[in-house]
Amino acid sequence: SNIFGDMMLLELFGNRLRSIRESMGISQIRLSEQTGIVREQISRIENGQINPTLETISKLSFALETPLSDLFNFPLENIKYREYKIKPFVKWAGGKTQILDKIKPLLPEKFNTYYEPFLGGGALFFSLVPHKAVINDSNDELISAFKCFQDSNDYTLMIEEILKHENNHSETYYYQVREMDRTENFLSLPIYIRAARMIYLNKACFNGLYRVNSKGYFNVPSGKKEVVKAYNQDLFNDLHEYLINSDISILQTDFEKAVQTAKTDDFVYFDPPYDTFDEQSNFTTYTKDNFGKDEQKRLAEVYRNLDKKGVFVMLSNHNTPFIQELYKGFNIQVIEARRAINSKGSGRGSVEEVIITNY
């Protein structure tokens, strides 16, 4: 029930509380006696070090005989949002980190809510750190992890599990953990256990690739690492703080449903499994449901409907004749991108991608 998420806001509130208390000639000890809040806590609130709950604030308001609105009577226009330095916490096939410098100049200048229906590693989402967003992915394991970062209790438990995996890591242990999704009760395991497993496997497996077989089982071999570092304290803490202090809805549904609430001046970024070049292997096994030509057509239809609603829309895909045809009439920018994840060295190298915008 914390109502503050910004360090500057905590300081402004603390300063206001102190000045009201001092103007009334009341000491911290006296205020502590009147409210039942320990003096150290009052001191920390006044120094902007802790985030008071609504219950605490109402006790202070009552004891100081000061309306709540007076406690919040400070200039808000000077508040700057905290700058979060965050990036993807897992490596994901089709991740956009390498081409962010090509995507970002093509973003709309201003938008309201950010939507990303095929989230994956979330490179663009994390580089934008929007204050209001709807993010979605069909991958259950990935979404479990995002949800753990947004829940303080699950977050703590997930980290404990990740550290256990790090400590127990060996070749044999890796395969034992990998086999967990073959068991009957896997989907009923607590969310933090599944999230920690996914993050550990992603860091310990070969090439950091998330891939499942036709039954939906994770099947990437071990990366044969002596030591696995799956927990990144600074990154995880920043990510956790960002997700609990921003208005971020995390969904696991169909891409069309995920953008249903998008309206004029919102921004939707589609990064679907790519259309395939016929001669190249199909790289769309992030979930066991394949994303074929029919799904590409349905996506193009959703794109057109959003365009009619006045939503800003951007889409990434391979530069194929099929995609060029589907998005005829929109702005199609061709870029070179490196294919970084491939089991065969020959599959690496550069491919042409398109960034398609309706603005």
State which H helix or E strand residue 299 sits in.
helix 293-308
Residue-wise pLDDT tens digits, 169-190 = 999 999 999 999 999 999 999 9
Q: How far apart are CA 356 and CA 269, in angstroms?
A: 10
The conformational region for residue 216 under phi > 0 = left, psi -120 to 50 = alpha, else beta, is left
DSSP string across 177-195: HHGGGGSTTGGGS-HHHHH
pLDDT digits (tens, 9 = 90+) for 201-240: 999 999 998 888 888 899 999 999 999 999 999 999 999 9
pLDDT at site 12: 87
| pLDDT over 60 at 343, yes or no | no
Half-sphere exposure of 206 (CA within 13 A, CB side): 10
Its pTM stands at 0.75
pLDDT digit string, tens, across residues 242-297: 999 889 999 999 999 999 999 999 999 999 999 988 644 444 444 456 789 999 99
Window from 76-90, 154-168, 217-231 with minimum mean pLDDT: 76-90
User: Averaged over 118-128, what is the pLDDT?
Assistant: 96
Give the pLDDT score at 50.
85
SS3 per-residue string spanning 145-169: HHHHHCCHHHHHHHHHHHHHHHHHC
Q: 354 with 332: CB under 8 angstroms?
A: yes
